[in-house]
A and B are shown apart, each in its own frame.
Chain A
Amino acid sequence: MEGIMAIWQRDVIKFFRDRARLVGSFAMPFMFLILFGSGMSGAMSSMMGGSEASGPLADFDFVEFMFPGIIGMTVFTTAIFSALSVVQDKEFGYMREILVSPMSRVSIAIGKVLGGSTVALFQGLMMLIFVPFIGISISFSMILQLIPVMFLVAFALSSIGLLIATSLKTSQGFQMVVQVLIFPMLFLSGALFPLSGMPAWMNFIVKINPLTYSVDMFKKIILQPEQMAPALREAMGLNLSVFNHVITLPEEILVVGLLSVFFVILATIRFSRIEA
């Protein structure tokens, strides 16, 4: 137990010590929000019927739409890339110090996943700094809901990261594989644009993509779709449904929870097999 904590603590200490990384972590989301968000919002609203659009669609605000997706993006990428530290530890030798200690491999793997999840949770929460500039309001109770959900999502993604990291020997290899994996998943998750009117095959990928449900959880908490007009909700792609059943937040938590368990077990088993 203390071993898990020690491994976790090391990653957290190093995260807060690395100022450049801390500041740099704002760059991407900021860019997306400004360039993508503000730049696209005109195009988007004209697609929705232009400025003379009447009724609920006039309320469509692209930046607002994107914000939960940006939080999602931050959490996903931070969590999955956190496993880079495992590869670096292998490269720089520290992994041997860890592996020859009497700690069980399971504790080490869990500690690593928890460390990555915690760091990703912090990064995600830091994105809330953008809230006042976007013009949405977030209540304290929303934050209380966001924290466990973010942690769960981060846990799933960190486990996937660890699974990849155990099979790879170099940082470059890891970064390549993760990028190839995460970007399509991110684009087909509804994080950056509403997923409506897509071809059937793409729709299928969207539905089996775990990030879809993860992003949708953030949207449900932040955008409060049940208070929107049905037409707007549809336009924002907030009626995520599987087999004609509109999926609920508890169901999504269950799905992502099960995925987390699956991936953390897989990652732990693989990790237990590596030699120092």
Chain B
Amino acid sequence: MQYQSQSVAKLYFTAAIGLFVVQVLFGLVMGLQYVMGDFLFPEIPFNVARMVHTNSLIVWLLMGFMGAAYYLVPEESQRELYSPKLAVLMFWVFLVAAALTVVGYLSVPYATLAQITGNDLLPTMGREFLEQPTITKIGIVVVALAFLYNIGMTVLTGRKTVVTIVLLTGLVGLAVFFLFSFYNPDNLVKDKYYWWWVVHLWVEGVWELILASYTHQL
């Protein structure tokens, strides 16, 4: 480690590993429910276990590559992170939001969660992988924008390389495509079409671009 601010990556990696364990545990619950249909029913129905499983997967992947960006961008740009404080703050915002969301999934019926988080004001919940309450989604946008800003400022005021430029394109895509999760028309066909923009353009379009820039750095 050549730069002190690289150490914020540690927080992100630790949480990513923790969330990975959560993902695996709930994956095992679902696996058991496939074989023993009534396992944990009605306490943890399959759909609830599945939300915890897939959502913790999404968050640990995001945390993992945010941590990786905080680790490698200083070396690549040859300067300290623009704001290590912002990186730490956003880590806690993200972790607390994720934890509260999981507690919400497990402690009350989903419809109740939708009601107390005001889903009727801006209905975005109840679509595959986009089950998070609208307020959590807003949190994800804030975290993604702060991440983009922090990495962007570091990159643009430091040494620019192929790696950082590809990374930045990926991060802009990360922030932009997630915005489609707020678009939920009554027309099911349109809904599914733009759902796909988030789910698949995120994973196959944007995340893989980000990860490609990392592998190049190695």
A and B bind: no
Give B residues with C-beta under 8 Å from A. Answer: none
